[in-house]
Each structure stands twice: as structure tokens, then as C-alpha cells.
Chains A and B, each alone.
Chain A
Amino acid sequence: MDMTALLLSRIQFAFTITFHIIFPSFSIGLAAWLTVLEALSLATGRPVYRVIFEFWLKIFGVAFGLGVVSGIVMAFQFGTNWSVHAKMAGPIQGPLLMFETFWAFMLEASFFGVLIFGRSRVPPWFYLFSTAMVALGTSISAFWIMVNNSWMQVPSGYVLENGLFVPNDWTKIIFNSVVWSRFPHMLLAAYLTGAFCVAATGAWYMLRKVYHAEARIMLRMGLGLAAVLMPVQLLFGHLTGEYVNTYQPSKMAAIEGRWNDEKPGSEVLFAWPDVEHRRNLFAITLPPPFGSLIDSDSFTAAETGLNSIPPENWPPVVIPFFTFRIMVGCGLAMLGLAWFGTYLSYRHRLAYNRPMLWLTFFSFPLPFIAIITGWFTAEVGRQPWVVFGVLRTADAMTPFLTTREATISLVMFCAIYAFIFLFGTFYIYRLIRTGPARKPFEIPHLAVPNRPMSLADEELVPEPSHADAGE
């Protein structure tokens, strides 16, 4: 076993999946937003909704395309770097990934085609239905991925036979409380990502004094949606914490920076965990029973500390401890922004409040940071296990993988992804900077359902001057 190859493989998986999650979390939220826009357009008949719809449809196409491209690699990496895991967990995780691939393919193929070609060919209600189906499909994709990952967090519905995880109860694998708290948590995160990106775009147009009517709707709807969803998201975040507390005490203890068993537990708000001496430096702590109240909804519950868990079963404590706090911090910042912005917008003062517009504009990275740090908390916190409590990450790696091979592949991934990511992001930026086109939407030449990015093929129009823009 090559320990350096193990570390490099973990970094490679983390890098490729972090890169990947950026795009689906954006496109899942946008698909839902498109459905709302199309419904409003149908209900009110106001052309402005149509303009915004067609603008975001193009951005959806690019984000969706980059998500598909970066997702292909994920279907192969289990086998290349983690062959022992792939062999053992294949009978469970393979079928779950197949459901994701097959169902997503059918959806992309059929209803995305209607979105591109169908405007003039199908009745309006069917066009709306297709938009909703695309949104549903991206959510179904997310669902199967969350079932897959949740099984690695809390394995269930299987027996170990001849070194294989043999499924004996698929209902337990799919319908369990872990999936049904984590899937909504991820879905809401994606919706919030869409909401903040839309609001930030609106704020940007407002600040530049262009596309006033569209910007107002984007701001109001983006922030309004976030204001409603943020509290729900906090609730599901709390429920997700409950499964961690029940099934993964080592992850919970690391997140909380809790070294000793406590009954009832205290709550460390901030500290620097000193792993070597098993203590927290610079700790700001709420007294008991706040820890038990937050982790177990109880005034008296006992909470496990790291000292009662063998150190070989600890995750790298510092990473989940901080990523969790960054995620929560982003969440609270988004809650504040969404509520205050919605209040201002309700009083019709948001358009004139430039500091608030700037804040909203700069808020768009927050949901992405929250999603990535949240996933780091879940995945790094699961260590040293790949299938929690059953299969160690170190035992899951391809036994004959060498440091040299792992280094070469990691360097190549970094180089090519950086190259593509820069272009892709720049391209989305250019689309957003250009803004909505106030002319009838033309189907780009040769656009096809299997090429989502083709939607944005048409020539970019020059940026409108300030004189003729705005209303």
C-alpha cells in the first residue's frame, strides 16, 4: 500500500468532485427558477417574464453542459483509483448510479428537446410542463446521487457475502431517514444557489443602470425566494445534524470540537482545535445544555467526545470543524441578506440602496462556498471510512496504484480542469454581462437536445449603451 498514492487519490477525487458539484448545484436551481418564470409568464402574460426566461435558459444550457462533461469522469473514478471499493460496493452503488444515468439521459433527451425546439410547436401548457419536467429531472438526478452517497455514510439494507456488499433490501437503501434529510438539504442548497445568482445578476444590472425592469424582477424574486427557503434550509440542516449525531459520533465530535464525553453537552462556537494535545485553543463556548440542545434536541442528553473514540477512527478533526463553521456562517449571511433585502424591496427602497445592491451582487459566491464546505464536512468527516464503519478508505484503494501514476493523473486533471473552468466561467460571465435580448428568441442553428450548450450559440450582441437601456 502506497500511502502517498492514497493521499493523492483522495485529493484527486476531492478536486474533481468539487469542480463538478459547482455546475449541478447551479443548474438544478436554475431549472426550478425557469419553471417559475414560465408559469408566471403564462399566468400574467407579461412579456418581461419571457425575456428573463430566455436569458436564463441560455445560462442554464452552459452550466448544464459543463456539469455533464465534468460528471463523466465521476463514473470512472471509482474503478480507476478505488478498485477494491468499486468491486465490493458495486452491487449497490453501481445500480444506484445506473438509475441516475439512465433516467437523466431520457429526461435530457426528451424534455430538453422541447425546451429548445418546442416553443412554436407545442401548446403553452405543454411547454411549461416540459420545463417542469427538466427541473424534476435534475432533482431526480440529485436524488439518486444523494441515495448513493447516503449509503456510504450510513450503510443499510445489505449483507457482506464473499467480500461483496450484497443488497437484500432496496427499500431500506432508498427510503431511510438519512436520505430524506440529506436530499432536501442538497436540493434546497441548489435552489438557494439559483436564487442568489439571479438576485446578484439583478443587483449588477441595477448598479449599472441597465435592464431596469428585468433587474427588478430578478432581485425581488431571487431575494424573496431565498428569504422563504433559508429558514427551511436551516431546519433541514439541523435534521441532517441529527443523523450525524445518531450514526456518526466521530464526525459529530469533530464538528463540535468536543473532546470529552459530556452530559449534558456544551457548545463550542469558535476555537482552534489542538489535536496533538486533545484540547481547544481560544475557545468561545456556550455552557451546557446548549450542546445537547443543538445536537440532540434535549436538555439532558449525553454527547460523545473524541476521547472515547479510538484515535485511528478519528477524521482529520480540524477540517470538518472549520468547514462546518464556514458553511453555517455563509448560511446566516445569506439569511440576513435575503430578509433585509426582501424588506427593502417590499418598501420599494432596494433600487436606491446602493450599498445593499453591492452586497447582493457580491453575495453570489456564498451559496457555492456553503455547498462545497458542507460537502467537505460530510465527506472529510466520514474519514477514515469510505463506507462508514465497514470499509476503510485506505483499504478501498487500488492496491497497485503508485505515487507516480497518481501524481501524473492529478496534475493532468488540475491543468485541464483549470483550463476548461476558466473558459466556462468566463463564458457564463460574458453571457450575463451582455444581458437579456429584447427581441424574439431564435433557435440557434443546429441546436439539439443532446448539446445543451448549443442554446447559447447565437452571436453575442454588443453591450447596450446606457442611453437606450433601462426603462
Chain B
Amino acid sequence: MVMFWVSLLAISILLYVLLDGVDLGVGLLFGLASGEARRGAMQSAVAPIWDGNETWLVVTAVILWGAFPLVYANLLSAFYLPLIVMLLGLILRGVAFEFRHKTQRLRWIWDLSFAGGSLIATFIQGMTVGALVEGLPFTNGEYSGGAVGWLTPFAVLCGIGLCLGYALLGACWLAKKCDGEVRDVAHRQIPVLAVGVLVFLVLVFAYALAEHLPILHRWIDRPYLFVFPAIGAAAASVLALSILRHNDHWPFYMVALIFVSAFGTLALSFWPYMIPFVITIDEAASPQSSLAFMFWGCGVVVFPLMLLYTVISYTVFRGKVGAASGYGHH
């Protein structure tokens, strides 16, 4: 039962990163783009999916609370300020999607909210993962780092890294979904961002070696972990090829594969810990009576339906977004 809920949690987090990563990335690039036509097309490329994507964040939160309350309580309270800022960032950009077209004069406010909210949310997500990898300060099973215990150079580096990563994912999505100028700009951005992500990965690895991060020991203990970076490297090669050939679709799938391999690497390096080297999966799990209740009421039927629905909604929205179809069609 614990394994079932760990799997659902992993699927939810991965789906959140992949799906919301796309529209957060488009939000980041939106801040760089100028001109109403380009901005409109960029929003059209994510308009029908962003809200559903964010659902997976809420799903992640409730699975954590119901199935692993110890982790939910510790993580959310340790990352108090960044988490609340991230939520407000997500709210702002979400509302910006809706209100942008209700006004002409004040549109710049919502454009700023959209790009700014995306930037804040992405940076904080990357920083959180970085702080977890480096190890949060805990004393007797309780977080003891104070208000900014998570703020380290490494965490900031990871925040910047995720911004590059999501922007890359977003650029690949725009190349896949759009035509004309937006697609051409995306094709120019993809190699730059891909190199940026590569440099970031090298820096992270160098830092981990230099600082002797405890997570590195897992790699020596578990050589099979190298399968994931190998998949990532293979995907990166195909990505380079597809960039050279100006393919519209392959870059997206390859970058998504790189994200999956990065996620797999992290998850298996953490295993069996949920908060590295402090709380394990078994320690964090809810009592059997809670897990079973959720299994029958939510996990076994409703969750697969949610996955199915996500697949259907993406299938409906397949193909290129027409150049003329602005988000609000006026």
C-alpha cells in the first residue's frame, strides 16, 4: 500500500514538472517577447492546458498530506516563505491568463504578472529541489534552519538551472505548437537554452564533487543509477541532431525525456528517503487504515481516470495553433 502511494506521488510530481514546466517556460519566454501578435500566439499555445497542469500540484499536495503527513508538515513549514511566494506567483499568473483580455489599458499589468509570476514560481521550485539535494538542516527530526535555512549558493544555482530548463521545455513546445515568427524565434532559442542547461548540469556536478554532497555516495553504492544519466545523454544527442535539422517535434520529446531521466536520477538517489537522510518513506507513511481508505476511494479508480482525462485533453488539443487565433479572438 505504501508503494502504491509512493508511485502515485512520483507520477504526480513528474506530470506536474513536465506539464506545468511547459507553460511556466512559455511564461518565462513571454517576458522576453515583444509585440502583441507574438505574445498572443504564445499564450494560445498554452491557454487550454495550463489550468489542468496546475491541478497536478494540488494533487501532489493532497497525496503528500494524506499518505505522508510527516513529509507534508516538515517540507511545507521549512519552506514557509518561498512556498507562499510561489503560490502567490502561480495565482497571479493564472489570473493574468484570464484577465489579460478584459482590459486594453491595463494589459501591461497582467503581462507583467504572467511573466513575473512564472519566473518566481520556477525559480522557487528549482531552489527547493536544490536545497533538498544539498540537505536541509534538521535537529531531532525537526527543521532547524530558521527562516532562510534553505538559501544556499547551490539552491540558487538550481533555481537558475530550472529557469533555463523550463524555458527550454517551453521553447520546444512553442516550436511544436506554433508557426511563423514564434516558431522561428523558438528555434533560435532552443540551442542557446540547451547549452545553458548543459553548463548548469556541469556546474552542479562540479559543486557536488567539490562539496562532497552526501547524495554522491548513493552513486558509488548504486552504480545502476547511471542508467538514467545515460538515457539523458542519449536524449541530448538526439536533441542536438534534431536542432540541426530544424525539426519541430523531436526537440520537445527529447527535452521531456531529459527531464524524466533527471527526475528518475533524483528519485532513486533519494530512495528510501523522502527528505534526504532525515525521513524515510516508511517513517512518513500514514497508518494502514488511511492508506486503504484512500486506495479504494481515490487511488484505484479516480486516479487512472484523471490520467486518462489528461491524455484525452491533450489529444483534443493536438496540432499547430493557428497563427490568427489569438487567445481571446479579438
Contact = CB atoms under 8 A, between A and B. Distances in A.
B275 to A, nearest CB: 13
Contacts of B87: 72-73, 76
Given A94-B65, A102-B303, A164-B287, A412 B84 contact: yes
A445 interface: yes
Which secondary structure characterizes the binding site on chain B?
Answer: helix
B297 interface: yes
A97 B62 contact: yes
A78 B317 CA distance: 36
B85 interface: yes
A84 B73 contact: yes
B69 A87 contact: yes
A416 B91 contact: yes
A72 B91 contact: yes
Contact of B61 (A75, A89, A95, A106): A75
B222 interface: no
Contact of A98 (B63, B81, B325, B328): B63
A249 interface: no
Contact of A76 (B83, B290, B298): B83
Given A69-B91, A446-B325, A457 B101 contact: yes
Contact of A83 (B55, B67, B73): B73
Contacts of B49: 450
Nearest to A84: B73
A285 interface: no
B302 A399 contact: no
Contacts of A93: 65
Contacts of A448: 47-48, 51-52, 313, 317
A450 B142 CA distance: 38
A164 B287 CA distance: 9
B286 interface: yes
A4 interface: no
Given A106-B306, A445-B329, A453-B98, A402 B61 contact: no
Contacts of A453: 98
A110 interface: yes
A430 to B, nearest CB: 8
Contact of B306 (A78, A102, A167): A102
A420 B48 contact: no
Contacts of B293: 95, 167, 170
B88 interface: yes
Interface residues of A, number: 67
B307 to A, nearest CB: 11
Contact of B58 (A72, A81, A161, A413): A72
A433 interface: no
A403 to B, nearest CB: 11
Interface in B75-89: 75-77, 80-81, 83-85, 87-88
A404 interface: yes
Interface string B40-70: 0000100111111011011101111111011
A109 interface: yes
Contacts of B54: 72
Contacts of B313: 109, 448-450
A416 B92 contact: yes
Contact of B65 (A90, A444, A445): A90
A236 B303 CA distance: 35
Contact of B147 (A84, A405, A427): A405
Interface string A450-469: 11011001010000000000
Given A86-B72, A412-B84, A457 B328 contact: yes
B118 to A, nearest CB: 15
Contacts of B186: none
A251 to B, nearest CB: 27
Nearest to A86: B73
Contact of A87 (B73, B92, B95, B98): B73
Contact of A79 (B67, B72, B97): B72
Given A94-B72, A450-B313, A457-B328, A405 B294 contact: no
Contacts of A454: 47, 98
Contacts of B90: 72
Nearest to B286: A91
Contacts of B327: 446
A92 B290 contact: yes
A78 B77 CA distance: 9
Contacts of A87: 69-70, 72-74
A56 to B, nearest CB: 18
A398 interface: yes
A314 to B, nearest CB: 28
Contacts of B329: 444-446, 457
Contacts of A170: 289, 293
B94 interface: yes
Nearest to B330: A459
B305 interface: yes
Contacts of A401: 77, 80
A409 interface: yes
Contacts of A84: 73
A343 to B, nearest CB: 40
Contacts of A400: 77, 142-144, 146
B289 A166 contact: yes
A144 to B, nearest CB: 10
Given A83-B74, A167-B287, A98 B95 contact: no
Contacts of B205: none
A423 interface: yes
Contacts of A98: 62-63, 65-66, 294, 297-298
Q: Which of A81, A110, A409 has the most CB of B within 10 A?
A: A409
19 contacts: A72-B58, A73-B87, A75-B61, A76-B61, A79-B76, A80-B76, A86-B72, A87-B69, A94-B290, A99-B298, A105-B55, A109-B52, A166-B287, A398-B80, A400-B142, A409-B84, A423-B99, A451-B50, A457-B328
Nearest first, the 7 A-B pairs at minimum CB distance are: A90-B69, A79-B76, A94-B66, A94-B65, A83-B77, A445-B329, A87-B73
Given A102-B59, A451-B48, 9 more contacts: A70-B91, A79-B73, A83-B74, A84-B73, A90-B69, A95-B297, A102-B303, A423-B95, A446-B44
Interface of B: 44, 47-52, 54-55, 57-59, 61-67, 69-70, 72-77, 80-81, 83-85, 87-88, 90-92, 94-95, 97-99, 101-102, 142-144, 146-147, 286-287, 289-290, 293-294, 297-298, 302-303, 305-306, 309, 313, 317, 325, 327-330
